[in-house]
Amino acid sequence: MRFYKGLAIIMGFLFAGEAIEKLLKIPVPGNVIGMLLLTGALLLGFVRLEDVEEVGTFLIRNMSIMFIPPGAGIIVYWGLVKTQLVPIAVALVVSFAVTIVFTAKTVEILRRKR
């Protein structure tokens, strides 16, 4: 039963997040709003960790596969990507490497200076 209780809570927060997104017309998607709301509810004790942990952990551990269907959508835009393949590929790869190292190093250096 706990599985369904957890799923109902998570889906409830997702639904609430989507409702807020629509009502406030903000650019933040419902799932991110739902995540922040659920964090708040856990902190305030409205939701118990044990109720959502099992199903939530299952979803998190299987997040990678959820990107395959939208990723395969590249075939729809392949014509456009092909004409600018070099700028797109180089910019994505270099920007990725620069951003991850820069951000992580910044946090680490700030921490050491404390």
Partner 1 sequence: MKSFGFFFTVLVYYILSRLFEESGRKFFLNPVLLSIIVVALFLRFSHISYQFYMKSAGFIFYLLGPAVVSLAIPLYKERKTIVEYAMEISVGVVLGGLVAALSVIYIAKFLGATKEVLLSLSPKSITTAIAIGVSGKIGGIPALTAVLVILTGIMGNAVGVELLNLAKVRDRVARGLGMGVTSHALGTARIILDDELSGAVSGLAIALNGVYTSFMLPYLVKLILG
**Residue 57 C-beta: closest distance to partner 1, Å:** 7
Contact by Cβ (8 Å): 49, 42? yes
> What is the DSSP-derived secondary structure letter of residue 47?
S
CB of 18 to partner 1, least distance (A): 8
81 lies in the binding site for partner 1 (CB under 8 A)? yes
Site for partner 1 in 1-20 (CB under 8 A): 7, 10-11, 13-14, 17
Q: Is 88 in the site for partner 1 (CB under 8 A)?
A: yes
**In Å, what is the CA distance from 82 to each residue of 67, 73, 75, 85, 100?**
22, 14, 11, 5, 26
Decide if 88 contacts 81 (C-beta within 8 A): yes
Residue 95 binds partner 1 (CB under 8 A): yes
Residue 55 interacting with partner 1 (CB under 8 A): yes
Q: How far is the CB of 1 from partner 1 (least distance, A)?
A: 18
